[in-house]
Amino acid sequence: MARSLKKGPFADDHLLKKVDAIVEGKAPKKPIKTWSRRSTIFPSFVGLTFQVHNGKSFIDVYVTDDMVGHKLGEFSPTRNYTGHGADKGKK
């Protein structure tokens, strides 16, 4: 189910403060480390690099125009698919 339009998109406040500081030039342009996988990617995030936590480590995510409107967690996979065990024996 999609989020209600009257609520608008969600992003954590601490994440928005860090992005605004980098865009305004108050902070150095380095990757932003975050655990907030639920935050929506805004147009102001384009061109920035985020380190998104996947439960074990941080995955570098470089934001492009195509990612706007999606969540940060979509680009940091939490599970590694190694293939089906039965298929490996047949080959």
Q: Which residues contact 35 (CB under 8 A, 6 or more apart)?
A: 53
* 44: pLDDT strictly greater than 90: yes
Pair 49, 32: CB distance under 8 Å: yes
Residue 8 lies inside a defined structural domain of this protein: no
* 90: pLDDT strictly greater than 70: no
The pLDDT confidence band at residue 91, using thresholds 50, 70 and 90, is low
* 7: pLDDT strictly greater than 90: yes
Domain count, the chain: 1
Pair 10, 40: CB distance under 8 Å: yes
Pair 51, 32: CB distance under 8 Å: yes
Q: What is the tens place of the pLDDT at every residue in 55-89?
A: 999 999 999 999 999 999 999 999 998 888 776 66
Domain that holds residue 54: 30-77
The span from the CA of 58 to the CA of 61, in Å, is: 9
State the average pLDDT for the chain. 92
State the CATH number of the domain containing residue 55: 3.30.860.10
- Who has greater pLDDT, 1 or 32? 32
